[in-house]
Structure 1
Amino acid sequence: MPIALGLEGSANKLGIGIIQHDETGKSPAKVLSNIRDTYITPPGQGFLPRDTAQHHRDCILEVLRKAMKEANVTPKDIDVICFTKGPGMGAPLTSVAIVARTLALMWDKPMVGVNHCIGHIEMGREITGAGNPIVLYVSGGNTQVIAYSQNRYRIFGETLDIAIGNCLDRFARILGLSNDPSPGHNIEQYAKRGKNYVPLPYTVKGMDVSFSGILSHIESLAEEQLKAGTVTPEDLCYSLQETLFAMLVEITERAMAHVGSQEVLLVGGVACNEKLQEMMGQMAEQRGGKVFATDERYKDIYDARQ
């Protein structure tokens, strides 16, 4: 069975995975190793492409060594080297691509450039066993409802401005939340302790959504009401999640009805949010459908770009 080594470095999370594929397609791929190292900045700060690229260059060989050791493979066992071709941050992508190209030349292996978005979708399908689902792809740089139609992936709806992960992370900066392990994760933990819903704008336009106005509104609330003590950071995080996720559930359900699908696949860093999975699951259950989602092992970072 062929073994693929993959290198991902499109943002501040550097990852190297080794997967063994079943050529017959009867069994799912076996993950032999999945090693990551994240560039974490101080609270309230994003990450610059230059600094992120330097982080990747500094630790990529050690991450590679750990991945090879955990998978118990040698260069002779590797059949193909894959790398994230884009989209993503240019400098980190370039740093990782250079290493991938060097390994391919040293080990005399073929290379495959992988589209970041399609990689998320196909990884999700492989891991969860989803057939032909409606895909909600939510991360720091992407918010899209996607379905496979006529031999290609097609976008049915998307954000009209910033991505949902970017929205969450920028609000985390307002609250001064830690970037470890990620600001979006820490907002999720705050939201679990929230009790009072604060009304926020709800912006769905057909199959598309808009987050920038919601972010501006809740930033104003934070500045005014947190100082006055009329709301808590937990309540604001809870309200933001409830509003954003309800918008995503609405456009996903509309896409399911349009395509006639009974499956939803959640991919991207924000897709690991338990509340989003719960809300999407409730919607799918009411339609007689099912939700597929990856867990933290396959989480893509969704910190906002600087």
Structure 2
Amino acid sequence: MVVALGFEGSANKIGVGIIKDGVVLANPRKTYITPPGEGFMPKETAQHHREKVLGVLQDALVEAQIKPSEIDVICYTKGPGIGAPLATVAVVARTVAQLWNKPILGVNHCIGHIEMGRLITGANNPTVLYVSGGNTQIIAYARKRYRIFGETIDIAVGNCLDRFARVLMIPNDPSPGYNIEQLAKKGSKYVPLPYVVKGMDVSFSGILSYLEERTEGLLKQDYTKEDLCFSLQETIFAMLVETTERALAHCGSSEVLIVGGVGCNLRLQEMMAEMCKERGAKLFATDERFCIDNGVMIAHAGWEWFKSGGRMSWTDSFVTQRFRTDDMETTWRHD
């Protein structure tokens, strides 16, 4: 029996999760929410995490009914992410590990999402679409690493949605992407938008700029906010489905797994499910408990690594904003 505790704080959510041999014992989190029209800045986000982290840690221990002495390893998000929040949470993780005399592991945030998705859904060896506020990647496993087949060449899909929400002054509570999704359900008139797929890669910055320049004019015509949200979702999700389908075909895979915060979007899941049905593949996705950044995904990836013999020296327990998915060897997976 191995019990792992994980800290996640790479963006605007601070989470602490506890897992015991694949069983989620606790997964509380707090979100830093800014006023409509504003994003979250690194300094203020880090301050939020400093204020909330010990309370969230206490909540996790109480919910899991676990004592510090029963925990085997402390895990934290090493990267990728925003520098100040990452560093804040890493300091707490190092401190807790030293106070409790536990080994520490710095986990790749993206791999945390993938391993949590595999655990919750039961997907075996899927082609993965990883979509979040800071990352957009199409991923497949081969030879002890998660290989990146395609990705955004500029901004992430979640960042595109968040920034368009600011243009429309859509509230950030509970999240800009969720509120865009609800508005899009009421939209019906499609606004033709740039469709930018370059081989296996996608680009969202031009679509965002196109809308930023034209939103005011479109709203003065016969288009509503709902129509604009609908059009944006339909366009960018079609791009993601197209590139995922090519990776699926190339790998000869029969499974697709959507992970990351944007993966909660039911319209994206619906479009991907239609593609999978046509190709005789199966779609796997999770709900907001596990697709949005959370502590237990870091705990679980760390648990897998620790069980397979993974150890980290204190001198390596730093953070890095640029931590590629394929930079980490997945020692626990077997070809």
* Superposed pair shares fold, TM > 0.5: yes
Equivalent residue, structure 1, for 2:105 = 112
Equivalent residue, structure 2, for 1:245 = 237
State the structure with bigger RCO (CA 8 A, min sep 6), 1 or 2. Answer: 2
Aligned with residue 170 of structure 1, among 163, 168, 171: 163
Equivalent residue, structure 2, for 1:262 = 254
Q: 1:219 deviation in Å?
A: 1.9
Equivalent residue, structure 2, for 1:231 = 223
Q: 1:126 deviation in Å?
A: 1.2
Task: Tell me whether 1:32 sits opposite 2:25 in the alignment.
Answer: yes
Q: The residue matched to 1:46 in structure 2 has which SS?
A: coil
Amino acid at match of 2:68: P
Equivalent residue, structure 1, for 2:321 = none
Q: 1:223 deviation in Å?
A: 1.5
Q: 1:196 deviation in Å?
A: 1.1
Amino acid at match of 2:267: K
In 2, distance between residues paired with 1:108 and 1:94? 21
Equivalent residue, structure 2, for 1:24 = none
Q: 1:16 deviation in Å?
A: 0.4
Kindly report which structure 2 residues correspond to 1:20-169, keeping only aligned pairs within 5 A, or say none.
Answer: 20-21=20-21, 29-169=22-162
Q: 1:59 deviation in Å?
A: 0.9
Amino acid at match of 1:5: L
Task: Tell me whether 1:212 sits opposite 2:205 in the alignment.
Answer: yes
Q: Which runs of 5+ in 1 are unaligned?
A: 22-28, 302-306
Alpha-carbon contact 2:117-2:291 (below 8 Å) kept: no
Alpha-carbon contact 2:35-2:172 (below 8 Å) kept: yes
In 2, distance between residues paired with 1:291 and 1:45? 34
Amino acid at match of 1:6: G
Equivalent residue, structure 1, for 2:7 = 7
In 1, distance between residues paired with 2:87 and 2:207? 34
Q: Deviations over 1:143-184 (max 9, x none)?
A: 110001122111111111111001001000000000111111
Amino acid at match of 1:250: E
Q: Deviations over 1:75-117 (max 9, x none)?
A: 0111111000001011111111111111111111111110111
Number of aligned residue pairs: give it: 293
Kindly report which structure 2 residues correspond to 1:258-297, keeping only aligned pairs within 5 A, or say none.
Answer: 258-297=250-289
Q: 1:220 deviation in Å?
A: 2.4
Task: Could you list the structure 1 runs, at least 4 aligned residues long, displaced by more than 6 angstroms after superposition.
Answer: none
Q: The residue matched to 1:76 in structure 2 has which SS?
A: helix
Q: 1:221 deviation in Å?
A: 2.6
Task: Tell me whether 1:300 sits opposite 2:282 in the alignment.
Answer: no
Alpha-carbon contact 2:113-2:291 (below 8 Å) kept: no
Q: 1:212 deviation in Å?
A: 1.0
Q: The residue matched to 2:28 in structure 1 has which SS?
A: strand
In 2, distance between residues paired with 1:284 and 1:190? 26
Q: 1:299 deviation in Å?
A: 3.2
For normalisation by structure 1, the TM-score amounts to 0.94
Q: 1:213 deviation in Å?
A: 1.1
Q: Deviations over 1:13-53 (max 9, x none)?
A: 000000011xxxxxxx1110110001111110011111111
Equivalent residue, structure 2, for 1:203 = 196
Equivalent residue, structure 1, for 2:308 = none
In 2, distance between residues paired with 1:101 and 1:150? 31
Q: 1:300 deviation in Å?
A: 2.5
Q: The residue matched to 2:172 in structure 1 has which SS?
A: coil
Q: Which runs of 5+ in 2 are unaligned?
A: 294-335
Aligned with residue 187 of structure 1, among 167, 180, 189: 180
Q: Deviations over 1:243-272 (max 9, x none)?
A: 000000000000011010010010100011
CA RMSD of aligned residues (A): 0.9
For normalisation by structure 2, the TM-score amounts to 0.86
Percent identity among equivalent residues? Answer: 69
